[in-house]
Structure 1
Amino acid sequence: MIPKYRKQFNQEFSQEKYEQFKQILKEKSGIDAAFRISESPMFLSMDFKNKLMDASESIIDQIKALPEDTLEKAVPQNCKVPNDTKQPHFFTIDFGICKNENGEIEPQLIELQAFPSLYAFQKTFEDTFCDVYPFLNDIRNKMPKEQFEVYMKDLIIGKENPENVILLEIYPEKQKTAIDFVLTEKLLGIKTVCLTKVKKEGKKLYYDNNGKMTEIKRIYNRVIFDELDRIPDLQVEFDFRDEIDAEWVTHPNWFFKISKFLLPMLEHQYVPKSYFLHEFPEGENLDNFVLKPLFSFAGSGVNLNPTREITDAIEDKENYILQRKVNYEPVFEDINGEFSKAEIRLLYIWRDQDDRPILLENLGRMTKAAMVNVDFNKKDAIWIGSSNAFFVD
């Protein structure tokens, strides 16, 4: 979308530089990424960024204005965790990069979450693009790396000793996001702990810290609570619904509160109309909508072409939405003259003392497939996979 920078990047690009790029990421983290890394960043205009900010600020205002009991309805009874917080610690918003009926490029809201994304990885990702392509330093994120680190430590560690703070995941070594866990450990000086390794005595939680049983006082939670039921023969001492002497970052209830559950309640020119499946109006054409389960992750369960037979067969219709389709526009030209589509995720943090969340980074996802999530990319294409956006005046 920014011809000057796209042309320079494409001229400087080589397969050797791409391999160098991945090698630097591996050296910084110690492991390979388990998902595809796009060869290219995304270059977006400040006008497009202003549209993103306008939509995001409106969405934040609308969420803040919702009654507390409205948000509470999103949390399934069997997933309610005690000691909820007044606001989430993380807030992410996904926008498709689309073309409107006037031919203008604009963002369209895809979904939003109050769940941690790849914060540590994306900052390292941006740095690595600048390492390999130094001209990108002129247009990089204006927030210094030191300020990013201060924000993350303040949010996740707070006033605790890092040894009393853990990143909690289930079988972390098997997760596709493992590279982010490692980079988070390096950034914050904390340990990643599997849920199955957490010990419980009364209301206190402990983990084995190099042979020493150490109390857990803050939990940087990366476990999707409702997915635990799908793991056969899971043996744990600690249930999320237990009363514990530890603080959640972010509290698990917010995974449900800030989710696709909110989409039918939001209004903005960059927010496609959405309906709960059981409230879908007779006058709307199903062909114009995408079917999405409320609490799926990484694109699972999404149906791009739902039919009446499919929707009628769903029993728990209140747990699905229909969202108006948007037109992702292929605007990112690769070295072969082909074009990729993309989404951009804005990565906010929301500290307890702040009235509004703070934007720290962004995450890009590029594709030449029908679905933008990296799991749905064609294997033989380029300019696909995880990326990062640079904004240009």
Structure 2
Amino acid sequence: MIERYRNSFNTLFTKEKYLEFIHNLEEGFVKIPFRVAETPVFIPKALEKQLIAAGAELIALIKQPDFKTLTNDAIPAAWNVANENDHPHFLSFDFGICKDDQGNLLPKLIEMQGFPSLYGFQAHLANTYKTTFNLPHHLSPYFNGLNEAQYIDLLKSIILGKHQPHEVALMDVDAPEQKTLIDFLITKQFLGLKILSLTDIFKEGQNLFYQENGKKVQLKRIYNRLVFDEIADQTALFKGNFDPREALDIEWITHPNWFYRISKYTMPFLKTEFVPETHFLNTLTAIPADLENYVLKPLFSFAGKGVIIDVTLADIHNIKDPQNWILQRKVIYEPVVQAPEGGIKVEIRLMYLWPDGQEPKLCINLTRLSRGKMIGVSYNKDFDWVGGTVGLMER
């Protein structure tokens, strides 16, 4: 979107250079199972300022004293985890890039998460774009004046806290099989922590342990990457290991309840130019006449699962649990990134770290490019110049 960088990048781009970029990205780690885009996004200063302002408005709601009361019903009773803390350590806000009535770029909120994102991979991704494509040194994926070393130090302080790396585990249901494994491996390289599957961890009393070289090692903290929705029908995994919902002598980074509190559930409470009109389906007093301008989303889903884009009256009447759905005005993405063949739609994820006793800090971003109806790598498999990428800003 910064024209001089875009024109230069497109002029010099070759498919051979892209293959070299992917090789460099994967080297020493693992083959990436999701599509990475051919290009970064060059974010202009005006849009950067708007993104920061939009994020600040959302943070203000989350910091309200009654926020927990407001969102208590967001947490499914079956997945309410004990010992919740005061705030999430990670926040992510996804904004579709649109245009206002005057033709200016405008971010519109699509999704929000109180859950970790690809905090390791995005730093590596930005470096690899810059080195492979020989991009200017002063282009940065970081906000708030951070450089890479400062960012990794902050990430380390959030995830490890006062503990030693071997006392902290990045945990997912089956960690080596996750599509985000490359992020796990980069995070391990940065911080030295363990990567464990749920079934690698066992309980004695209220404490959690794992085995290494025939020895029992106590865990003090879990960097949680497990989405409970993904194991709703696999609770047998807990038998003989541990049940995450119990009161345990463990620190959660971030506590699992925040995945639900800060989610699509939060969006109907937000009234700002940066948030599309959103309603809980069970609170609608009248169904909009222009349903073609709305999208129907399940509250408790991940990665776009269950979303109905072309909504009909029949879709609404067929919903058996309207309290678990939202109806949201569609966001019209503007194809603002110029590829060799046409414009591409953009979504920018702002990624925050929130240290205990401090304010949330906007740190880095994750950006996605799309030609399809929905943003996301799984909805753009047959296109090029789409997929996961990163926004770079002038510093």
How far apart are 1:283 and its partner, in Å? 6.0
How far apart are 1:360 and its partner, in Å? 1.4
Alignment of 1:348-387 (within 5 A): 348-354=352-358, 356-379=359-382, 381-387=383-389
Alpha-carbon separation, structure 2, partners of 1:24 and 1:378: 22
Aligned to 1:69: 69
Structure 2 counterpart SS, 1:108:
strand
Structure 2 counterpart SS, 1:241:
coil
Alpha-carbon separation, structure 1, partners of 2:250 and 2:235: 27
Alpha-carbon separation, structure 2, partners of 1:231 and 1:134: 47
Aligned to 1:256: 260
How far apart are 1:312 and its partner, in Å? 1.1
Q: Does 1:302 align with 2:307?
A: yes
Alpha-carbon separation, structure 1, partners of 2:285 and 2:56: 29
How far apart are 1:391 and its partner, in Å? 2.2
How far apart are 1:76 and its partner, in Å? 1.4
Q: Which amino acid aligns with 2:258?
A: W
Q: Which amino acid aligns with 2:345?
A: K
Q: In 2, are the aligned partners of 1:34 and 1:178 still within 8 Å (CA)?
A: no
Q: Which amino acid aligns with 1:162?
A: P
Aligned to 1:223: 226
Q: Which amino acid aligns with 2:138?
A: D
Aligned to 2:175: 172
**Alpha-carbon RMSD:** 1.5
Q: In 2, are the aligned partners of 1:39 and 1:383 still within 8 Å (CA)?
A: yes
2:190 to 187, 191, 210: 187
Aligned to 1:288: 293
Aligned to 2:201: 198
Q: Does 1:333 align with 2:333?
A: no
Give the paired residue count. Answer: 389
Structure 2 counterpart SS, 1:327:
coil
Alpha-carbon separation, structure 2, partners of 1:246 and 1:262: 27
Offset from partner CA, 1:198-251 (integer Å, 9 cap, x none):
111110111122332210100000001232123385354211111111100000
280-289 or 157-166: which moved more?
Answer: 280-289
Q: Percent identity?
A: 40
How far apart are 1:282 and its partner, in Å? 1.2
Offset from partner CA, 1:314-355 (integer Å, 9 cap, x none):
11111110111111011111123x11111000110111111x
Offset from partner CA, 1:248-307 (integer Å, 9 cap, x none):
000000001000101000011111110001112416332221111112111111111111
Alpha-carbon separation, structure 1, partners of 2:81 and 2:199: 18
Alpha-carbon separation, structure 2, partners of 1:280 and 1:210: 58
Aligned to 2:139: 139
How far apart are 1:131 and its partner, in Å? 0.8
Offset from partner CA, 1:25-49 (integer Å, 9 cap, x none):
112x421111001000011211011
Q: Does 1:318 align with 2:323?
A: yes
Q: In 1, are the aligned partners of 2:138 and 2:394 still within 8 Å (CA)?
A: no
Alignment of 1:36-55 (within 5 A): 36-55=35-54
How far apart are 1:80 and its partner, in Å? 0.9
325-334 or 64-73: which moved more?
Answer: 64-73
Structure 2 counterpart SS, 1:136:
coil
How far apart are 1:383 and its partner, in Å? 1.2
How far apart are 1:173 and its partner, in Å? 1.8
Alpha-carbon separation, structure 2, partners of 1:281 and 1:328: 28
Q: In 1, are the aligned partners of 2:93 and 2:349 still within 8 Å (CA)?
A: yes
TM superposition score normalised by structure 1: 0.96
How far apart are 1:166 and its partner, in Å? 0.2
Q: Does 1:207 align with 2:206?
A: no
Q: In 2, are the aligned partners of 1:34 and 1:179 still within 8 Å (CA)?
A: no
Alpha-carbon separation, structure 1, partners of 2:8 and 2:155: 33
Q: In 2, are the aligned partners of 1:334 and 1:382 still within 8 Å (CA)?
A: no
Alpha-carbon separation, structure 2, partners of 1:229 and 1:327: 33
Q: Which amino acid aligns with 2:33?
A: A
Aligned to 1:95: 95
TM superposition score normalised by structure 2: 0.95
Alpha-carbon separation, structure 1, partners of 2:40 and 2:205: 49
Alpha-carbon separation, structure 2, partners of 1:291 and 1:304: 7
Q: In 1, are the aligned partners of 2:129 and 2:135 still within 8 Å (CA)?
A: no
Gaps of 5+ in 1: none
Gaps of 5+ in 2: none
